[in-house]
Chain A
Amino acid sequence: MRYLLFSILIFPSLALAEKNIHGDHADHNAQHGHEGHVAMDYVGGTSSELDVPRFDEFVSDQKGNQIAVVSVSGMVCDFCARGIEKTFQKDAGFKKIDVDLDTGKVLIAYAPSTEIINEEIEKKILSNGQTVTDIQILTAQ
């Protein structure tokens, strides 16, 4: 019985996997092509990538706001990363947040008049159990 139930349950999962594999190919050129990733070399010597189309979409309605591009380690699970989003949403100073599990990046938008210091962002991420490895502050044009 358990194998029958497991087979029934596994089907949608494998169907999603197939969809995702095909989707990867389709999306690779459209959204995740090599031109869509910018390698960022950091002072600490680590290197990671920013998904530029995703970043552009994030900042499209954030003109004039500050954008923190936060590199986070230990962010391997959607369910666990939920806490990061909830933590920032509780603070009215932060306008918008995006979590990218693929690149380990969290994008956070806030008004330029808001005094946000890197330590505050680090503290909020750490309160959820992940570790900040780098923060870049940009201004959305």
Chain B
Amino acid sequence: MVFSDKMRDAAYYHYSPSYEYSLGIELVDEKQAMKNHANFRYTYLLNRKNTQNSQRNLYFQSSLSAGGNDEYSYGFLGDWETRRYFIGFGAQELKSNLRDYEKQFVQIGFAPYLGDYGDLHSWLMIKSKHDSRTDKWNTYPTIKFFKGDYLLEFGVDENDEPDIHFMIRF
């Protein structure tokens, strides 16, 4: 997965030995601090409920930075989705010798049409992010496309900064 916003560019590669957890490495370019470092990430599925028409997930997520300053983070991610609607949220505590801060987000979306398996799928979404360093909520529309093994999510936040996620499933 490749991610880019005002604060950072990141490329994340992860391996999931089972659907219950994944191990990954994230290469991060902190734009404002002008430094590069790697994060080792661990994600664990705490709860999943499958129904005929929906899936609900709750994940624990943590990371440990190799960039010094004893940086680490932990938090939760959750989502509920049907083929038509999506609701997601996340909360993360980030700790280091330099500064502790928190990040949260919520996201809702809907699919304007229901494509068949293999079609181009599109989601129209609203995302709201909060960073305790600025203590502001930043709310903006995003659009998500996926087809086959490729997923692209794109948005531009209130500061006209792009928020981009690109994911490939191997």
Contact = CB atoms under 8 A, between A and B. Distances in A.
Interface of A: 1-3, 5-6, 9-10, 12-14, 16-17, 19-21, 46, 48, 73-74, 76-83, 86, 98-102, 104, 126-131, 133
A127 B19 CA distance: 6
Contact of B112 (A1, A2, A13, A83): A13
Given A13-B143, A102-B114, A74 B55 contact: yes
How many chain B residues sit at the interface, stated as a range, is 35 or more
B113 A20 contact: yes
Interface string B138-157: 00110101111101001111
A14 B83 CA distance: 17
Contacts of B51: 73-74
B86 to A, nearest CB: 9
A82 B45 CA distance: 19
A98 B116 CA distance: 11
B112 A76 contact: no
B135 interface: no
A80 B157 CA distance: 27
A108 to B, nearest CB: 14
Given A20-B113, A76-B54, A1 B18 contact: no
B24 interface: no
A41 B17 CA distance: 35
Contacts of B83: 76-77, 101
Interface string B97-115: 0000000000000001111
A5 B156 contact: yes
Given A16-B122, A20-B113, A78-B115, A130 B50 contact: yes
B48 A6 contact: no
B155 A13 contact: no
22 contacts: A2-B156, A13-B112, A13-B124, A16-B112, A16-B113, A17-B113, A17-B122, A20-B115, A73-B50, A74-B49, A74-B51, A76-B53, A79-B121, A82-B149, A98-B117, A101-B116, A101-B117, A127-B18, A129-B48, A130-B50, A130-B55, A133-B52
Given A14-B112, A16-B113, A77-B83, A128 B156 contact: no
B118 to A, nearest CB: 7
